[in-house]
Chains A and B, each alone.
Chain A
């Protein structure tokens, strides 16, 4: 199947700083990528849908000014957590839709963010 990578796999930062997470589709072009957040022992919560060349679509309750999403190319989407606080600590997962595989979503391995 198609491969999606995320970088970094884990990051620790101080409160008030910003953190950027990258999501790349390695062997296909993805016009649509998704960003999820996973709390311990809970399911994946969709944060936003990232569309190449246009603004992201955020789910209700997700602050667009805090979670900045940029999808500048067909293989890269970035999520920037601005002015991070301890409550932003979580596991962030991206997925990319492959138009050549019946629009199946392929998931990255996730990024563990810890804000001190």
Chain B
């Protein structure tokens, strides 16, 4: 079945540092890949997504590239801010677009001023 392996946290960085959160997946076919963010006290929000190999999803300075050869979808940001402190979840869904989401374990990110 489908699975997502995500870098364990927590991760603590200083403001303006470079961020990478690793995510690899196991799936049949051609899944869609997602990063969700959960800010304190709020529900999950879609941060970015990619639906096919070599696609790059980007939003709010975050980027992730769908790498089929390495089955990875690592999240990166060049300069993090305190407001980026949250829990980040990598997820995938099947290729039909209507299939359920499979989540990674989440990575708690804390940015210190």
Q: Which of A6, A102, A107, A108 has the most CB of B within 10 A?
A: A107
Number of A-B contacts (CB under 8 A): 42
Provide the main secondary structure of the chain A interface.
strand
Task: List residues of B (75-113) whose CB comes within 8 Å of A's CBs.
Answer: 89, 97-98, 100-106
Q: A108-B43, A110-B43 are in contact. Are A46 and B101 (CB under 8 A)?
A: yes
Q: A102-B97, A103-B98 are in contact. Are A93 and B43 (CB under 8 A)?
A: yes
What chain B residues lie within 8 Å of A107 (beta carbons)? Answer: 36, 43-45
Q: A54: CB under 8 A from chain B? A: no
Q: Specify which of A6, A93, A109 is in contact with B41 (CB 8 Å cutoff).
A: A109
Residues of A within 8 A of B (CB): 1, 4, 6, 32, 34, 41-44, 46, 49, 93, 95, 97, 102-105, 107-110
Which 7 A-B pairs rank lowest in CB-CB distance, beginning with the nearest?
A107-B43, A107-B44, A109-B43, A43-B105, A43-B103, A44-B103, A108-B43
